[in-house]
Amino acid sequence: MNRSNLRVNANRLRLSLEEMAKIGATPGGGVQRLTLTDEDRQARDLFVKWLLEIECKVTVDEMGNIFGCRPGKDNSLAPVMSGSHIDSQPRGGRFDGILGVMGALEVLRTLHENKVQTERPMVVVDWTNEEGSRFYPAMMASGVWAEAIQRDWAYDRRDITGKRFEDELVRIGYKGDAPCRKFPVHAYYELHIEQGPMLERQQKLIGAPKGILCLHWYDVHLSGEANQVGPTPMEGRHDALVAAAEMILKVRGLPGRMGGNMVATVGEIQNYPNSRNIIPDRVHFTVDIRSWDDDLALRAWDLLRKDFEAIAATHGCPIKIDETWRVGHSPFDEILVQRVLEVADELGYPNMLWVSGAGHDASYTNHVCPTAMIFVPSIGGRSHVEIENSRWEDCEAGCNVLLHCLLSGANEF
């Protein structure tokens, strides 16, 4: 197979990303564009304007997902689709999500200016509220589209100030008429930054994740006995924070103990009454376990749970554990993953098969249609922070791989 010498316009891709980075720009060089805020609206407006400039048909659905469709020769055929999200984390980076939307737009611009006709239609999509940092949960609107999350339940989510999701959607003018419901898609590709260090370490330009790791969430609640820190002797204390500290170290040691591909993290903790002169009597913390091997993650949790119970008993601190959320690992479509690697080879980009440790909208499209992702390196492996960065030439490489993956999908029957 010979790839035509068609390539995306790297400069235009860069200018689009830089233009988008101005919307919600933070002093630290990042972006704060939380979902359904004025910044989100401004970025959506610009995206829609750019879609219309290349004569795409724009559809907004009732969850605010924006679809830009470029017709094919036969529009009764299922489209190929690509996109990601415009929203960001609080003080997030300039590449997470937006690269996948601007990358897919750049593919359509390239086809438009070269007057390339494809058999199937091509669709660029911006999924609403991927980040989940303003309205829980993450990947909400691709979840509704995939019929994994109920629309009306999503509408009733509230942010910390009490504002309802649906009201905010209406306020920014992006509650569309089209039903938010899955439709036939021939193939879905999502271009994204890796958000980890492996491509950089292996000196590869392109990563093709074979799928997304399983995600197991737990909430741990400990009770102790509050008392004045001065007069209370050390022996016989029921210090919930000390018990939590020992548990957190167990979580840290878990992947090494289990072997295999696993990460385990305590990312959130609340300590009460959180006073320097009171022994803590109540602690809540979270545990996040991810692996390609669901059974390994479950076996790890069994061990961890026993450790937690033993530690709690030693300290005389009653423990309550909630198994909050479990999603199994999710393999992508093998043929599409293979195509990413083949296209990267043919374009001369060093590449590797990898996994995704983070959830993406592609996790939900994967329930509906053949799905794969294209990763480009994150400098220093940093993401969800203002200094998140990727090299422009790596973004270009990822976008060229996307171009040829979409083209081959759009021209097969």
Of 284 and 382, nearer to Zn ion (C-beta) is 382
As measured in angstroms, the least distance from the Cβ of 372 to Zn ion is 16
Q: Which residues bind Zn ion (CB under 5 A)?
A: 96-97
Helices (H), ranges, 332-411: 334-346, 361-368, 392-410
Q: Which is nearer to Zn ion, 96 or 281 (CB)?
A: 96
3-state secondary structure of 158: strand
Of the two residues 96 and 396, which places its CB atom closer to Zn ion in the complex? 96
First to last CA, the chain: 17
CB 257 to Zn ion: min, Å: 31
Considering beta carbons, is residue 39 or 96 the nearer one to Zn ion? Answer: 96
Q: CB 192 → Zn ion: shortest distance, Å?
A: 6
CB of residue 92 to Zn ion, shortest distance in Å: 9
CA distance 327 to 325: 7
Distance in Å, CB of 373 to Zn ion, minimum: 10
Smallest distance, Zn ion to C-beta of residue 273, A: 37
Residue closer to Zn ion, measured from CB, 62 or 96: 96
Name the residue nearer to Zn ion (CB basis): 250 or 360.
360
Q: Is the bond into 377 cis (omega within 30 degrees of 0)?
A: no
Min separation Cβ 375 and Zn ion, Å: 11
Phi (first) and psi of residue 407, to 5 degrees: -60, -45
Q: How far is CA 229 from CA 274, 275, 279, 281, 363, in A?
A: 12, 10, 6, 12, 49
Within 13 A of 316's CA, how many CA atoms are on the CB side?
A: 8
Residue nearest to Zn ion (CB): 97
Rounded distance, CA 73 to CA 250, Å? 59
Question: Which of 96/194 has CB closer to Zn ion?
Answer: 96
CB closer to Zn ion, 98 vs 247? 98
Tokens of 144: 């509704």
| Eight-state DSSP code of residue 31 | B
Inter-axis angle of helices 98-113 and 10-21, nearest 10: 140
What is the rounded CA–CA span in Å between residue 290 and residue 296?
Answer: 10
* Least distance from Zn ion to the Cβ atom of residue 176, Å: 22
Write the burial class of residue 261 (CB in 10 Å: 0-12 exposed, 13-18 middle, 19+ buried).
middle
Q: Which residues pair with 70 in a beta bridge?
A: 122
